Amino acid sequence: MKQFDFRSMSFYQIWIRSFADGNGDGIGDLCGVYSKLDYIASLGVDGIWFSPIYPSPNADYGYDISDYRNIHPDYGTLEQFRQVLDRAHQLGLKVILDLVINHTSDMHPWFLESRKGKDNPYSDYYIWRDPKWKGKTRLPPNNWFSQFEGLAWEFCPERQQYYLHVFAKKQPDLNMDHPKVREEVKGIMRFWLEMGVDGFREDVITYISKHPQLPDGIPFLPAINGLPFYKDGPNLLSYLREFRAVALEYGALQIGEAPMTPVKTALTYLAGEDRVLDMMIQFDTMMADCFMTEYVHLPFSLPKLKRAFSRWQTALAGKAWNALYLENHDHPRVISRYGSERFWRESGTMLAAAYIFQQGTPFIYQGQEIGMTNIRLGSIDEYQDVATINAYHRFFRHQSVKKRLQRIHRSSRDSARTPMQWSSDTYAGFSAVKPWFAVNPNYPDINVQKEEEDEHSILNFYRKCLKLRKEIPALLRGEYREYRPLHRHLYLYERSFQSEVVLVVCSFSAKEQRWKLPKGFPEEKGDLILGNYPGKAISGRLKPYEVQVLRYHLPGRDS
Ligand code: GLC
Ligand code: CA
């Protein structure tokens, strides 16, 4: 079946637990989603990506799945999901689900069976290894670390063996080398595709093929010791081909999450008609203020961010297609990172234009479109995320409580998981009762209702960006070119198609900046089609976090 045109589309990501509570129990759910579908459509997006909505013990909030063919009772029923799906389709929105198949929950029936012994049908569904012995001391099979919780191996007394978990202990890795496991994956894909789902966002899909020998890693950064032996592994391409065949029967979209995959490797999955993934969630652009993980802090560097943007823009040009994002449920809020809470509206709007007008399919994470910012909770006990809690207790254990909390405030994924701020009503209009997780106290100022009423709000700026992107061929299909890559405060890029050129000028500075048009752009010919300060833009100067989007007709460019 023919695939739909995902290149012209944009997506909205829902992390359901914090999106909208429809039945008044303090937890977001499908009823809540249903009631907000018109709002989502009003943004001008064309699809929704749902983070996991399946039954899960929530060791990693949905990314530990205990039943792949059902809906978490907190969120509703399969019937309610069908209603959401139908209504979304009526509104012209595609729906893609999260496919989490690197690991399951340790409460998944497969694992409950597998752990019982070496001779049941599920024994080889997971990655089991005998201990290593040093005299009488029992040691794990290798020195890998998990990304969330200490060593990557957990001993199971019943089997007298260790199982591998690259993430939390309650997320055992599946053994994808087992043909039956791959058949299970295909069965799960078909189940949802038959129902009418339009594709998948595939969770850490580049981790599913492990190095057959599971060799020791070189200790470097503890949390990723072992990564080279489970990332982009030897059979990955062939497994992805098998899944691709299923997706293509339905014309389904496949977006792969690929932490730390370099762009050259990415092209082996993304390029050409026989590609195995349509787009990739890369991590380069999330590293402009940190090293490898958000918990190793560095000062924000605009040149580093621009290098990441331009690396993916140029390497994929004409060969593959980018997924564009600045936020999702795994990263702190972008205004608090790359922008400025002080220049909240200015930086929130500037950041929108900085990425949406690049070549690719933009993803917008719930709350990003109204400029939600990081929460700063007073104690680690108020946090929920396994990675956050682990970082606090493990990596920073020698630092003072104050210092540790500061690091959590800056780095935690929970900052992006606070309830969506719908209005200035109690609990931000998210729920009638106390929500499952803290509401950001800034909700009276930052909320959908307030921003609906303000023409210059971040919300309406997102709408304008998405609309322009669709209207102007240069923004949708044009070539990308960056100017002044080394400038420490300005990001300048153009998109050009035939004689039409759109220049996007972004200031990442809290101070006024002077700038000059690049050669070949005659001042008098430019049309300011979007900006984030009222009134006429002053040429040659940018106010704090100002963005100017200028449109040119430059005959001569198309030759
Ligand atoms: C992905 C998900 C993240 C999850 C991890 C393990 O990175 O986006 O939320 O914790 O995989 O499933
Ligand atoms: Ca609910």
How many Å lie between the centroid of ligand 2 and the Cα of residue 74?
A: 6
Are the C-beta atoms of residues 532 and 514 closer than 8 Å to each other? no
Which residues fall within 8 angstroms of residue 70, CB to CB, at 6 or more apart? Answer: 54, 55, 78
Are the C-beta atoms of residues 211 and 177 closer than 8 Å to each other? no
The atom of ligand 1 lying closest to the CA of 167 is 6
Q: Would the CA dihedral through 144, 60, 65, 91 be positive or negative?
A: negative
Phi/psi for 187 (5° steps) reads -65, -40
**Letter for the amino acid at 137?**
T
Are the C-beta atoms of residues 56 and 108 closer than 8 Å to each other? no
**Letter for the amino acid at 396?**
F
Q: Dihedral through CA 411, CA 416, CA 418, CA 419, nearest 10?
A: 170
CA dist 362 and 326 (Å) reads 9
CA dist 304 and 136 (Å) reads 49
Phi/psi for 281 (5° steps) reads -90, 100
Lowest-confidence region among 22-26, 336-340, 371-375, 394-398: 394-398
Report pLDDT for 523.
83
How many Å lie between the centroid of ligand 2 and the Cα of residue 317?
A: 43
CA dist 30 and 21 (Å) reads 8
The average confidence (pLDDT) of the chain is 96
Quick check: CB of 63 below 6 Å from ligand 1? yes
Whether residue 84 has pLDDT greater than 60:
yes
Whether residue 537 has pLDDT greater than 80:
no
The atom of ligand 1 lying closest to the CA of 330 is 9
User: For residue 332, what are the CA distances in angstroms to 20, 127, 339, 356, 372?
Assistant: 20, 32, 12, 19, 10
Quick check: CB of 60 below 6 Å from ligand 1? yes
Query: How confident is the model over 489-504, as pLDDT tens digits?
Result: 999 999 999 999 999 9
Which residues fall within 8 angstroms of residue 135, CB to CB, at 6 or more apart? Answer: none
Cα separation of the two ends of the chain = 37
Whether residue 268 has pLDDT greater than 70:
yes
Other Cβ atoms within 10 Å of 10 Cβ, number: 22
Q: What is the pTM of this model?
A: 0.98
- DSSP H helices, 147-301, are 179-195, 236-249, 263-270
**Letter for the amino acid at 541?**
R
Report pLDDT for 283.
97
Quick check: CB of 167 below 6 Å from ligand 1? yes
Q: Would the CA dihedral through 366, 248, 311, 521 be positive or negative?
A: negative
CA dist 496 and 552 (Å) reads 9
24-45: average pLDDT: 98
Q: Dihedral through CA 440, CA 442, CA 446, CA 450, nearest 10?
A: 120
Quick check: CB of 173 below 6 Å from ligand 1? no
**367: region left, alpha or beta (phi > 0 left; psi from -120 to 50 alpha):** left
Read off the DSSP letter of residue 65. Answer: -
Query: How confident is the model over 275-295, as pLDDT tens digits?
Result: 999 999 999 999 999 998 898
Tokens linked to 45 = 């997006």
Lowest-confidence region among 54-63, 83-92, 203-212, 517-526: 517-526
Ligand nearest to the CA of 165: 1
Residue nearest to atom 7 of ligand 1 (CA): 204
Whether residue 559 has pLDDT greater than 60:
no
Report pLDDT for 213.
96
Q: How many helices (H) and strands (E) does the chain have?
A: 15, 22
400-419: average pLDDT: 96
